[in-house]
Amino acid sequence: MESDYGLPRDLSHLQLARSLYKPELPPCLQGTTVRVEFGDATTALDTAGANAISQSFPHTYGQPLAHFLRATSNVPDAQIISDHPAIRVGLVFCGRQSPGGHNVVWGLHEALKIHNPQSTLLGFLGGSEGLFAQRTLQITDDVLATYKNQGGYDLLGRTKDQIRSGDQVNAAMAACNTLKLDGLVIVGGVTSNTDAAYLAEKFHQSQCPTKVVGVPVTLNGDLKNQFVEANVGFDTVCKVGSQLISNLCTDAFSAEKYYYFVRLMGQKASHVALECSLQSHPNMVILAEEVVASKLTIFDITKQICDAVQARAEKEKYHGVILLPEGLIESIPEVNALLQEIHRFLRLGISVDKISSRLSPWASALFQFFPPFIREELLLNPESGESAQLSQIETEKLLAVLVEAEMSKRLKEGTYKGKKFTPICHFMGYQARGSLPSKFDCDYAYVLGHICYHMLSAGLNGYMATVTNLKESLEHWRCGAAPITAMMSVKDYGRASGSMTIGKPVIHHATVDLRGKVYELLKQNATKFLMDDVYRNPGPLQFDGPGADSRTVSLLIQDLDYMGRIKELNMYLDKVRSIVKPGCSQDILKAALSAMSSVTDILSVMSSPTNGSI
C-alpha cells in the first residue's frame, strides 16, 4: 500500500481546476523575512490545574504568545529573522482525514522553498505508524501537483493512534534523530495536538534538537478555545452535510409521508449537528450537550420526538427531518452506564456471548429492551480513547424504531389520529469528510502550513499554529502561535453522570456552549424550524462567485479574535505607562490607582478557580 502514496491522481475537470487555484497569504506572512513579536508568558486554560500542568511540562509551560508581523510593521521589540539556513522538516497526519489537510503540506512546502530552496519536507507514510517505522516520502512540487486543494489524506495516509506510550515517544524521537529533522509537524485534532505537547516536552528533556508543532485539523470542530477559532475541515463538512440534509428536507416536503432520521459526525461534541441545523433548518436536532444538561433518558428523547410528530400531525404534516450527532448514545445517562459495564467486561477478556449474563440487573434489563442490532453494536470493543465505536452504533435507527413503536401505540389507543409514521434512516459522515475542501478550508490550511515554517524559523517548540479574526477577509487575518500547554486542563467531567475525574493534562474536546450565542440562535428558531418547514438549501460547495467566501454560521456570530484583543490590551497598558510617569500630577496618579484597583479586583474574582469561569 505504501507504494501507492503520493502517486499522481487522475483528476476530473473540476479537480484539475481546483488544483490550479492558488490561495493568497495574509500580509504578515508575505516576503522572505520572518518578523515575530513575543507577548507575555501564558498561563493554563485551567487555572486550578496550572500547577499540575507546569509540573508535567517544566520546559514548555508558560511560554509566550507569538505574533507574526508584516514587513512594514513598526514594533521595536519584534524579532527579525532574515537568515534562513536549509532545514529538514517531517509532517505526519494523525486522526481522521479532514478536508484541507493536503493544503497544510502544500503551504509548509512552499514556505520552506521560498526561504531556502535547499530545505526538505518529508511526509511520514501511514500516519504515526509510519513515523515510528521511519517510512517517508519526500515532498516535491511534482508530488504535490495533483493534491493541491484536494480532499482526503491519500497523499500520505493517516492513523488515529496516539503517540503517548513510552515506546511510541521513543520511536518518534529515534525517527527524528535518525532523519536529522529540525522540525516535526503534527496535523490533527484534540488528541494529536495533546500528543504534540508531550513530544515537545520529552524532546526538550532529552536534548533532541527537533522542534514539535501542531496544526488544528479536525472535521468535528471540537478543538476550539481562546486561541483556536476554527478547525480545518469543519467548514467543508458542514457545508456538504447541509446540502445533503436540505435535499432530504425537500424530498420529505415533496412526498409528505417520510421522517428522515440523520446521524452526523461528532463523537464528543455536537458542533456539526448544530451548524448543519443553522444552515439547512431541519425540523429538529437533538444535541448531546442538551441530553447531558437535562439528564434525558432514552425514553425522554423518544417522547420528545413523538410529541413533535404528533404536534405536526395536528397541522396535517406527516413528514420531517431530525438530526442527531453520533455521540448522542454515550450522552444518555443509563446507556452510558451500560456501556461502562460492557467495556469493563471486555477489558477483563470476557467473551462477547457471555457479557449479557454478567450485567447488573438494571443494565441487563436495559440491554434486553434494546433491539438485537443495537445489542450487537453496544458489544463492540471500545476505541483507543475508551469511547464506544460510535460510528458503528446506529442511534438514528434505534430512535426510529422506538418512535415508530410509540406512535403505533398512540394510534391504537386513539391518542394519535394521524397517518402511519414512516421513518427512513441515514448516517452522513464519510460522504462529507472525503469532499473537495471549501475555499475557506483551502485558504486556512495553506496559511497554517506557512505559519508552521515561521514557527520553526523562530525556534518554537510545543506550539500550535493559530489564525484569528477568521470571519473577516483574508487580508485581515492575524497569524501567530500559542503554547499548547495554555490550552490544557486536568479536569474531565463525565458526560452522562456529571462526575469529575482527575487525569493527565490534556486538551479537552470543546462541547457546544449551551449559554453561547450559537446555541441561543438555534433555540430562538427551534419552534419555527419544527412547525413551519422553513427548509433552507445552501446548495453545493461554491469555489467562485456567490457563496464562495461564505463562513460557517457559528464562526460569524461568535465574538472571537482573542489574539487581537491581547495585543489591544497591551497597547492600553503601554499608554497607561506612558501617561502615568514619575512627575505626573496627583490627580492623574489618583485616577490611575482607582481605576486599576477596580479592574484588578474584578479580574481577580473572575479568574478565581471557584468562580466557574474556566
> What is the pLDDT, as a whole number, of residue 497?
38
pLDDT for 499 beyond 90: no
pLDDT band for position 383 (cuts 50, 70, 90): confident
pLDDT tens digits for range 563-576 = 667 767 777 877 88
> What is the pLDDT, as a whole number, of residue 47?
78
- Dihedral in degrees, nearest 10, Cα atoms 102, 104, 110, 111: -170
> What is the pLDDT, as a whole number, of residue 6?
87
What mean pLDDT do residues 460-477 have? 96
pLDDT for 77 beyond 80: yes
Q: Bigger pLDDT: 504 or 269?
A: 269
CATH of domain 13-233+437-491: 3.40.50.450
Instruction: Write down the domain spans for the chain.
Output: 13-233+437-491, 235-430+513-540, 562-597
> What is the pLDDT, as a whole number, of residue 581?
77
What percent of the chain has a predicted confidence (pLDDT) above 90? 78
CA distance 18 to 30: 23
> What is the pLDDT, as a whole number, of residue 614?
36
Q: Which of 409, 236, 411, 426 is nearest to 321 (CA)?
A: 426
Q: Bigger pLDDT: 573 or 141?
A: 141
Burial 305-340 (b: 16+ CB within 10 A, else e): bbebbbebbeeebbbbbbbbbbbbbbbbbbbbbbbb
pLDDT band for position 407 (cuts 50, 70, 90): very high
Mean pLDDT of the chain: 92
CATH superfamily of 235-430+513-540: Phosphofructokinase domain (3.40.50.460)
SS3 annotation, 544-596: CCCCCCCCCHHHHHCCCCHHHHHHHHHHHHHHHHHHCCCCCCHHHHHHHHHHH
> What is the pLDDT, as a whole number, of residue 567?
66
Q: Which of 366, 283, 367, 375 is nearest to 324 (CA)?
A: 283
pLDDT band for position 384 (cuts 50, 70, 90): low
pTM for the model: 0.90
> What is the pLDDT, as a whole number, of residue 501?
46
What mean pLDDT do residues 10-34 have? 95
> What is the pLDDT, as a whole number, of residue 208?
97
pLDDT for 253 beyond 60: yes
What mean pLDDT do residues 504-516 have? 93
Comparing 45-49, 225-229, 368-372, the range with the smallest average pLDDT is: 45-49
Quick check: 394 and 377 in contact, CB under 8 A?
yes
User: Would the CATH topology of 13-233+437-491 be identical to that of 235-430+513-540?
Assistant: yes
pLDDT band for position 216 (cuts 50, 70, 90): very high
> What is the pLDDT, as a whole number, of residue 562?
67
pLDDT tens digits for range 294-353 = 999 999 999 999 999 999 999 999 999 999 999 999 999 999 999 999 999 999 999 999
Q: Bigger pLDDT: 127 or 73?
A: 127
Most confident of 160-169, 379-388, 421-430: 421-430
Burial 406-445 (b: 16+ CB within 10 A, else e): bbeebeeeeebebeebebbbbbbbeebbbbbbbbbbbbbb
Bridge partner residues of 481 (DSSP): 66, 465
Sheet with strand 64-68: strands edge to edge: 79-81, 34-41, 64-68, 478-483, 463-468, 211-216, 183-188, 88-93, 120-124, 136-138
> What is the pLDDT, as a whole number, of residue 613?
41
